[in-house]
Amino acid sequence: MSLINQSLKGIIGLLVFNFYNNEFCIDLQNVTEVKKVDAVQIHFNKRNEAVINLDTSKYKLIQLYKLMGYVNLKTAKDNRVIFADIFNKKIAFFVESVTEVLTTRLLFIDDTLDMELLSDKKYLKGIIKYQGRKIYIPDYEKISRELVKLVQVRSITGVSREYPKGSNYLDQRDH
């Protein structure tokens, strides 16, 4: 169910996170867990897709920050991994920080995509205007449909296919 449909039915819960001082969100109902980056291990499956195990489930790692038009993610102690189940696909993605859980009844969602701050709008659905703030809504449906194309993550050397716990995966660059 979309954010717009849920907001018409009543209270909506959003997890708000940051990339380069811009706020983004995900429907709280889709979030499985949020962990510190150094608490996860990244593995590569046979198709060279980055995968993170959480309990008994495997989550495909996508680079959401790249889909939003950013080349790199600022690394800091506040970096987190968000695990989500979206349209029956388990995905995980890095964020600079999780800022808040926003629970509200009233939201104005603008789907005109007047997003002057963002260079890449292909995977954006709209903007929530809330208390003078702009919170961008990634198009998770489109991302999940095209997931097969988005999970390719290569190691720099081509030799290591697993990043050990605590390694700084965020500093790795795709070439």
pLDDT tens column, 111-133: 554 545 455 578 888 888 888 88
Query: How do the domains of the chain map onto residue ranges?
Result: 3-168
Give 76 or 161, the one with higher predicted confidence: 76
Q: What is the pTM of this model?
A: 0.74
Query: What residues contact residue 35 under an 8 Å CB cut-off, 6+ apart?
Result: 54, 80, 81, 83
Angle made by CA atoms 14, 106, 144, in degrees to the nearest 5: 35
Q: Name the strand (E) or helix (H) holding 148.
A: helix 147-150
Question: Does 3.40.50.300 match the CATH number of domain 3-168?
Answer: no
pLDDT tens readout for residues 8-27 = 456 778 999 998 889 999 99
Where residue 108 falls among pLDDT bands split at 50, 70, 90?
A: low
Please choose, from the candidates 131, 119, 39, 51, the residue with its C-alpha nearest in 3D space to the C-alpha of residue 89: 51
Give the pLDDT score at 9. 55
Tens digits of residue pLDDT in 26-53: 999 999 999 998 888 888 888 788 899 9
List the structure tokens of 83: 């695990």
Label residue 7 by pLDDT band (50, 70, 90).
Answer: very low
Share of residues in the chain with pLDDT > 90 (%): 26
